Amino acid sequence: MVQLNDTNELISMAVAPISIVILLTILWLYKLTLSSSKSSLPPGPRSLPIVGYLPFLRRDFHKQIVDMAYTYGPIFKFHLGSKLYVVINTPELVKEVVRDQDEVFSNHDVTVSASMISYGCQDLAYTGNNSKWRNLRKIFVHELLSNKNLEASGSFRSDEIRKTIKHVYCNIGKEVNISDIAFLTEMNVLTSMVWENTSIKGAKGIQFLQDLQTLTSNLVDIVGQPNLSDFFPSLAWFDLQGIERKMNKTIGKIDQILTNIIEDRVKSNSKKSEDGDGNEGKKKKDFLQILLDLKDQNNTLNITNIKALLMDTMLGGTETTATLIEWAMAEIMKNYKVMKLVQEELTKVVGTNNIVEESHIPQLEYLHATINETYRLHPVLPFLLPRTPSKDSKVGGYTVPKGCCVFLNAYSIHRDPRYWDNPLEFNPERFLKDKCNYNNGNNFKFFPFGSGRRICVGIPLVEKMTMLILASLLHSFDWSLPQGIEEHDLSEKMAITLKKIKPLLAIPSQRLLDASLYN
């Protein structure tokens, strides 16, 4: 019995060090694997414990990222809190992401704010790459932005442009805010296309659109604020900056507007059905009615999806277009040669005894080149909508982990001297040399609308509206800076969009001899 106990004691004494050796071996192998994994990540700046690179961020973050690309190369990483960010800085690596591995990188990174404005990822922008997203995209493209529907809605665009020109004419000699003009014109067009048959007219309609403009502008400003809840998810519940509270307040007001419009339409449809109004089916349906019909026909669409799509339309179709038009006008006014060539082309194509029509747009090659040059130098979304890979992948030989946030650095690529001659010079002629379609997402040196399956679906409408608004403003008026302001301020500020720090205020003067053309 003593011998047995001695044996057990010897075994116990032997097991302890063996277990320790095995445990240490496992820990060493794990550390070795972890170290190997880390070493395969892209290079990047040193970070502080817990907060990462957060304390070193500059206000001009978009320019800071360009500087970091020069230091760390075509792909680099940095941490903000617990979140990893990877930045892609060359056309070759952009192609790897949006073409060679499009399936893996086809989801957008969802921040706290993005989740809120998309009604919990129920919209087109933030729904994951799945059958639901493909269905929403099909609806959006076929029912709102098809060539047939864009042609049918041409009268809305023409009517609203004429109202804008008349409004500007009534303010000749006074300061006008270019961004506000573009925003309200675009909002009028979109609301006409989306809920044409909703009765919001006269003074009530004007106030409605102004309220909508204020709310959407506020929303974009809030979304553009860096949010600690995204960098430290464990602290999201505390909402330390109050961003979620601000978002809830603003989205609540917009949601109430959308709810009222939808409920009014449903009541109107019900009343017409009870009254036996047989003419309703013969009228052209607006986008809202098409969405409601689809909801009733199948269960793939619900009221939340409808609201989310309407939110996409308002935010995506107004703020970005107004920002681009403001930048274009600022650059055109700054560069007298460009202004002269644009207006000479308009005189040749449109004439001085006529108004701009959509039929003129295909002939305005220099203006189109000027808009592309604006997108190159001032991409409205400098990093597009950031992507997140659905699994670990390799880009440029480095590991890009699942769930990290990936920036496609359009701002840097569009200004890179390796791809553009005199990249900081505003020179529309560079887009006249090559007649290819730069906006189809196949040119990875110039991709302001993105590329791959997540390319912006609104390109056809955006191009029509930017061309039509700019052509009309530059054909109908000459423009100058307010008295006492001689320098053209092109300072930028980075939010969700790249905007001018100071709004462009300009003074219009009559350019056409026949005053009746302004009415």
pLDDT digits (tens, 9 = 90+) for 281-308: 456 788 999 999 999 987 779 999 999 9
How many domains does the chain contain in total? 1
pLDDT more than 70, % of the chain: 88
Residue range 357-377: average pLDDT? 97
> 464 in helix, strand or coil?
helix
Which own/partner pairs from 389-393 qualify as long-range (CB within 8 Å, at least 24 positions apart)?
Answer: 389/101, 389/104, 389/105, 389/107, 390/103, 390/104, 390/105, 390/106, 390/107, 390/129, 391/104, 393/101, 393/104, 393/105
- Determine the distance from the C-alpha atom of residue 244 to the mean position of all C-alpha atoms in its chain, rounded to a whole number: 20
What's the distance, Cα to Cα, between the start and end of the chain in Å?
114
Residue range 3-12: average pLDDT? 39
Phi-psi category of residue 466: left, alpha or beta, with phi > 0 → left and psi -120 to 50 → alpha: alpha
Q: Would residue 26 count as lying in a domain? A: no
CB 212 within 8 A of CB 184: no
Q: What are phi and psi of 263, to 5 degrees?
A: -65, -40
Q: How confident is the model at residue 201 (pLDDT cuts 50, 70, 90)?
A: low
For the cut 90, the answer to whether the pLDDT of residue 461 exceeds it is yes
Burial 256-287 (b: 16+ CB within 10 A, else e): eebeebbeebeebbeeeeeeeeeeeeeeeebb
* Closest to 172 (Cα-Cα) out of 459, 407, 476, 516: 476
Q: Would residue 342 count as lying in a domain? A: yes
Write down the pLDDT at residue 24.
39
> 405 in helix, strand or coil?
strand
Q: Would residue 323 count as lying in a domain? A: yes
Give tens-digit pLDDT for 381-439.
999 999 999 999 999 999 999 999 999 999 999 999 999 999 999 999 999 987 666 76
Write down the pLDDT at residue 198.
62
Compare 519 and 456 and report the one with higher pLDDT. 456
For the cut 90, the answer to whether the pLDDT of residue 15 exceeds it is no
Write down the pLDDT at residue 31.
41
Give tens-digit pLDDT for 49-63.
999 999 999 999 999
Q: How confident is the model at residue 221 (pLDDT cuts 50, 70, 90)?
A: confident
Q: Would residue 389 count as lying in a domain? A: yes
513 token code pair: 């001899």
Write down the pLDDT at residue 2.
36
Q: What is the pTM of this model?
A: 0.89
Q: Would residue 4 count as lying in a domain? A: no
CB 343 within 8 A of CB 366: no
Write down the pLDDT at residue 383.
95
For the cut 80, the answer to whether the pLDDT of residue 256 exceeds it is yes
pLDDT more than 90, % of the chain: 71
> 257 in helix, strand or coil?
helix
Question: Between β-strands 176-177 and 387-388, what pairing exists: parallel, antiparallel or unpaired?
Answer: unpaired
Percent helix / strand / coil, the chain, rounded to 5? 60, 10, 35
Average pLDDT, the chain: 88
Residue range 150-155: average pLDDT? 90
118 token code pair: 């998309």
Q: Would residue 180 count as lying in a domain? A: yes
Q: Would residue 23 count as lying in a domain? A: no
* Rounded distance between C-alpha atoms, residue 32 and residue 24, angstroms: 12
Residue range 467-495: average pLDDT? 92
Q: Would residue 154 count as lying in a domain? A: yes
Write down the pLDDT at residue 12.
43
What crossing angle do the helices spanning 365-377 and 459-476 adopt, rounded to 10°?
A: 110
Burial 204-234 (b: 16+ CB within 10 A, else e): eeeebbeebbebbbbbbbbbbeebbbbbbee
* Rounded distance between C-alpha atoms, residue 244 and residue 312, angstroms: 19
* Rounded distance between C-alpha atoms, residue 112 and residue 224, angstroms: 11
Domain of residue 304, CATH code = 1.10.630.10
For the cut 50, the answer to whether the pLDDT of residue 369 exceeds it is yes
Residue range 223-229: average pLDDT? 92
Q: Which of 78-92, 241-255, 344-358, 430-444 has the lowest mean pLDDT?
A: 430-444
Domain that holds residue 327: 40-518
* Rounded distance between C-alpha atoms, residue 375 and residue 443, angstroms: 14
Compare 226 and 213 and report the one with higher pLDDT. 226
Q: How confident is the model at residue 205 (pLDDT cuts 50, 70, 90)?
A: low
* Rounded distance between C-alpha atoms, residue 252 and residue 261, angstroms: 14
